[in-house]
Amino acid sequence: MSNRSLILVIFIYLNLIAAKTPAEPYVQTNSSSVVTQGSSTKESKAVVREYVFSRPKKNKPTQSKSSSHSKKRYRLYRVKVNGQSYQLLMRVRKIATGAFISHKEGGFIQAGLFKNLSQANLVAQKLAKAKIKAKVIENIY
């Protein structure tokens, strides 16, 4: 079988499969392009189809003039313990397991960073009960 006839057979086979597909995209049928394959007793015709796909249109969000120039800011509350010693860090971690030593601003232990002031105050109160001085500092990012 030559390459040309193999390509023709594959082309016809794919068109037959496409004709059996239940859900098809928008199809344009080109009636002038008909491929005929036949024998002396039976003749079948496969129609060449051109599939036209289009991507969905993107909706551009409308922005007000005031919000387009300013970035959204986040208010976070940091629980800060003065000190950098490993022993103090271990005491703080008994209450705030994610505590770590920060080397910013001369060094301190950060016991937590919270979105809610009430959560930050709760951790600071627990640290105060353990006789560890802690401050809640508001940071805006």
Q: What does the domain layout of the chain look like in residue ranges?
A: 3-51, 74-140
Which band of pLDDT confidence, cut at 50, 70 and 90, is reported for residue 22? Answer: low
pLDDT at 140 over 50: yes
Q: Which residue has the higher pLDDT, 29 or 97?
A: 97
What pLDDT does residue 2 have? 72
End-to-end CA distance of the chain: 71
Q: How many whole angstroms separate alpha carbon 20 and alpha carbon 128?
A: 74
Query: What gap in Å lies between CA 56 and CA 64, rounded to an integer?
Result: 25
Distance (Å, rounded) from C-alpha 35 to C-alpha 118? 76
Q: What is the predicted pLDDT for the residue at 69? A: 53
pLDDT of residue 8: 72
> Has domain 74-140 been given CATH number 3.30.360.10?
no
pLDDT in tens, 61-104: 655 555 545 677 889 999 999 999 999 999 999 999 999 999 88
